[in-house]
Structure formats: structure tokens, C-alpha cells
Amino acid sequence: MSEYQAPLKEMRFVMQELAGLEQVVSLPGFEEASPDVVDAILEEAARFSGEVLSPLNRVGDRDGAKWKDTVVTTSPGFKEAYRQFVDNGWNGLGCDPEFGGQGLPRLLSTAVSEMWKASNHAFSLCPMLTQGAIEALMIAGTDEQKAAYLPNLVSGEWTGTMNLTEPSAGSDLAAVRSRAEPVGDGTYRIFGQKIFITYGEHDMTDNIVHLVLARTPNAPEGVKGISLFVVPKFLLKADGTPGERNDVYCVSIEHKLGIHGSPTAVLAFGDHGGAVGTLVGEENRGLEYMFIMMNAARFNVGLEGLGDAERAYQRAVVYARERIQGTEVGVRGGPKVPIIQHPDVRRMLLSMRARIEAMRALAYVTAAAQDNAHAATDAASRDKARAFADLLIPVVKGWSTESAIDIASLGVQVHGGMGYIEETGAAQHLRDARITAIYEGTTAIQANDLIGRKIAREKAATILVVIADIRAATAQLDGDLAAIGARQNAAVDALEKAVSWIVANYSSDPKAVHAGAVPFLHLFGIVAGGWQLGRAAVIARNKLSAGETDLFWAAKLATTRFYADHFLTQAAGLAESVLAGAAGTLELADDSF
């Protein structure tokens, strides 16, 4: 069975040519990210992902995490791989140097994260949740909480979790009923149960830091009455090391469709007198702080979609090159050929590849915007970059994950009947990818956020700037790229039409607008992905015109043309679903389903 190989050439191209790595590393605080440092990190991450994490991916799927008497044992090899991960300093790559991090750009850590997710989705979830806990404590934690928890979270010696969902709450966090009772000195006793807690219990570290949503006794109803608490698995002794066991226990782990190597825990808080926790930030602002973690997690889940898709594509390509079946179309009596020569197999592989390249480019460009939002030297540049990143994060999450499910399904299809057999490994990628469109906010939640908070609330100010940028880039698709430019122009027209309709109707007919929210997210993702591929095509054309002979550049042109013909052409239909799709969606009586 083939192992994951990081597509370093493609990654470097996107980082340098599309995401603007040179500009990003010139920002204050990123001086250490010299070209040789960036290359060394990418090369070593590729080695670690391919040689250490990828071989464990199948192990985790076959021999998933096990629960017994509140104790969770991770899949064979995971604990040892995590120790290597921490010892090599990977956990603190993009974290604040004040607490032991390396302070490297989000753009670089995004490329590295893609490798972790592609090589071993289940393993990668543990450091991902820890990063969210770090971000929340960095912004809202007290000095004491930062000193107590951040050094070990940044190093990876301890891991972090995000405790939102409850049996009766689901995605409706207004229904959270876990309670926090004050006992003095800023300490609380936490009572309640949380479900779907990724790596809520495991054996890879000697402490787990839970960030928990709960209500204080006099809290108002709804989301305005939720507070955030830090609740460690082991209480800290005076010297900061783990001491007495806290009253939080794993009562079971879920049996899931995929990501079997990642334990998804049901945690009980306070069954033996109350779990000890301390308030993070101000009372009743917990949801606001938790969304710090959530926003980081949503972007990273988009990278999970990208990673799953890339792995499924790599496996499908290897199989298509090796599988001999049928003669070449149009050649009577010819020899049997690899299936990669059959037109429909090529169509499937290009459908996978083109979207992966678009997803990667959009994610990396969004990561660069996050770097500029954090470190640009003037406020106007920071604000513009932040608005762009905020607009694109639900697209990176929603469109990338939905695309990944289809891409992984195509990977099974390329394998034919063997794709449905577990021994080929193709099915695992489909099973693993399926959750990405659900957790950290379903696709509909991403789409509702996009049309409501990111478009209607600001009267489309940011997306209209993006549309103008897309039109400016599309103008360069002339000459031998004119066919791609025509497709892109038509797609942008469809996007702008849909945006105008959303702004005009959001207040007067919100149900109709929400009925088309997910089609709009797909529309925006397809057009934004085409924008990035179009930029890549212009660069490739210029390279070829200058005499470059590397097949990489010709492949860029072919992939972009395929994307234009097969995906940009979907824009007009999606726009019509946004504008006119509500009638059919809302007409059917509930009892008729």
C-alpha cells in the first residue's frame, strides 16, 4: 500500500507565487522565516508525515482508540509518534515565542498542517484542538492561567480540548446546561456532561486541559449566559506539575464511521463532588471566547478536507497507473492498457486534482491574510486582511470539506470494485472525510455565517472588493488563456448577481435567502478557487513563454482549463439556485416529507 508523499513542489509554488511568502516573511516578527529555514521545515515535515504518520494512518483505522473503565488507550504507535512530534518541536511552530513557540507565519504552519492531515487525519486532530485552546487562553486567559498552562500546551507536553456540545444541545449552544458553581477565590465547581469531545481522554500526555462552556447560577438564558472555564484533567501542584485527579472522567468513546484513531469522548464533570475550574475572561462571555477556538478550528478543518482529498487523489493515481484493464479507446485489437489512459478515469482524476489545487491555493492565500491581519504595520492593512480572512474562512471550511467528500468518493470510483474493499485503503479516506463537513459547524452553519455576518450585515462591502480583485485578475486571462477568462468572467457575473440578491432580500425574506445559503457557499468557493487557478495559469504561461520546459507549468495550464470547463460552468446554475431555489425548498408541507 502506497504511503503519503507531500506535494512539496506544488506547496512551494502556491506559498511563493500565490500567497506571497516573500511579503509575509517581511512582516515584523517573522524575520526568522528565511528561505532556508522555510525549506528545511517543509522538507522535514514531509519526511515526518511520510515516514512516521502515514504508516500509522491504516493502523489507527483498523485498531482504533479503546476505552475501558474511564481510561482511553490510543492506537498502536500513536503515543510514540506523538512523543516524536513534541520532541521535534512541531506543536509550537506558529505559537508565541513568549511561551516557547517558534513564532513562524501562519502560512508556513498551514502548509505543515496540511501534511499532518493528509498523512494521518486522526492523529492530526489532537494538536489541532490544542492550538485552539492556546489561542483562546492567549486572548482571554489571565496572566496566571497563561503562566500555568501555555508553556506546556505550546510545547505539546499537555493537550487541549474544546467542550461545547451536550446531549440536549447539539449545535444550539443556547441550550447548554452544564453549570458552574462559585466556591471562592475565583474557583468554580463544574457539573454536567459533554459529548463529541475530540481527544477528551487519551494516554499520550500526562495532562489534558479542557476548556468548558457552562452557566453560572445567575446567568441569563441563551447564549448570553454562557461562560468559559479551564478545567485540567489533573489539578496543578504549587510547582505547576500535575497533581490530584480532577473530577472529570471519560464515561465512553463514540463508535464512528471514520477517524477511528481519534478518540471522541463523552466526558462527565462533577459526578464526585464537582470538577475544579477557573473562569476564562469575563463571566457570560464564554461563547465569544470559544469562537476564538472555533474560528481557528474551522480553518483547520478546511485543511483536513484538503488533506483527505490529496491523500485520496494520490492513492487513486497510483492505482490508475498500475491497474491494467481494457484497450485504449479507439484502438481495435490493441494491448491492454493502464486505466489512467481511459478518458473517464482521466476525467475523474482531473476532477480531483483541479479542485485540490484550487482548495490549496485558497487556503494558503487565506492563511497569508491571517498573517497580515496579525502583523501588518498599519491598521488599514490589518483591517483589510482580517476582513478578507473572515470572509474566506467559512468557504475554506465548507467548500473544501464538501469537495473532499466528493473527491474521496471519486477515489473509490477510480479503484472500481476494489475501492469498496478495505484492503486498498481508498474507503478510509471517504469515511474519514465525511465528518469534516459536520464538526466545528456544519456546511449550513458556515453558509449562514457567510451570507449573514459576512455579506448581509456589511452590505457586501468585503466581498465586492474581492469580486473587483477577481475581475482584475481575470483580465490577464487573454490570448491563449481567453477561453479560461471567458469562463471566469461568466462565473464572476453569476457570483455578483447572487450577492446583490442576498443583500436586497436578506431582511425582507430571510428564509428564502437561507434556503440558498449552501448553494451560494459552493458558488463562491468555485469562483474563488477559479480565481486562484487563473492566477496560476498566467504565471505558468509566462514561464513557458520564457522558455521553461518543466512539465509542471504545462500541467498548470491543463488543470486550470479543466477546472474552467467543468467547474466554473456550474456557477450560473448555482446562482439560479440561490435566486430561485427557495420556492421548491419551502413549499412542501412538513407532513409531506
How big is the chain by its Cα radius of gyration, in Å? 24
Q: Which residues pair with 252 in a beta bridge?
A: 266
CB 354 within 8 A of CB 559: yes
Q: Is 326 left (phi over 0), alpha (psi -120 to 50) or beta?
A: left
Q: Please count the other Cβ atoms lying within 10 Å of the Cβ belonging to residue 67.
A: 17
Of the CA atoms within 13 Å of residue 403, those in its CB half-sphere come to 34
Confirm if 432 and 57 have CB atoms less than 8 A apart: no
Catalytic residue flag (residue 98): no
SS3 236: strand
Are 61 and 261 contacting, i.e. CB atoms less than 8 angstroms apart?
Answer: yes
Which residues touch 257 (CB under 8 Å, ≥6 apart)?
431, 434, 435
Sign of the four-CA dihedral 406, 408, 411, 413? negative
Query: If residue 159 lies in a helix (H) or strand (E), which one and from where to where?
Result: strand 159-163
- Judged on CB neighbours under 10 Å (0-12, 13-18, 19+), 360 is buried
**Which residues, including other chains, have CB under 8 Å from residue 8's CB and lie 6 or more apart?**
42, 43, 46
User: CB neighbours of 152 closer than 8 A, spacing ≥ 6?
Assistant: 158, 207
DSSP bridge pairs for 192: 269
Q: Of the listed 440, 458, 496, 587, which one is catalytic?
A: 440
Please list the helix, strand and coil fractions of the chain in percent, rounded to the nearest 5, in that order: 65, 15, 25
If we measure between CA atoms, which residue out of 195, 179, 180 comes closest to residue 251? 195
Q: Taking Cα atoms as reference points, which of 132, 532, 502 lies closest to residue 368?
A: 532
Query: What is the dihedral sign for C-alpha 586, 587, 591, 593?
Result: negative
| DSSP code, position 215 | B
537 with 457: CB under 8 angstroms? no
Active site residues: 440
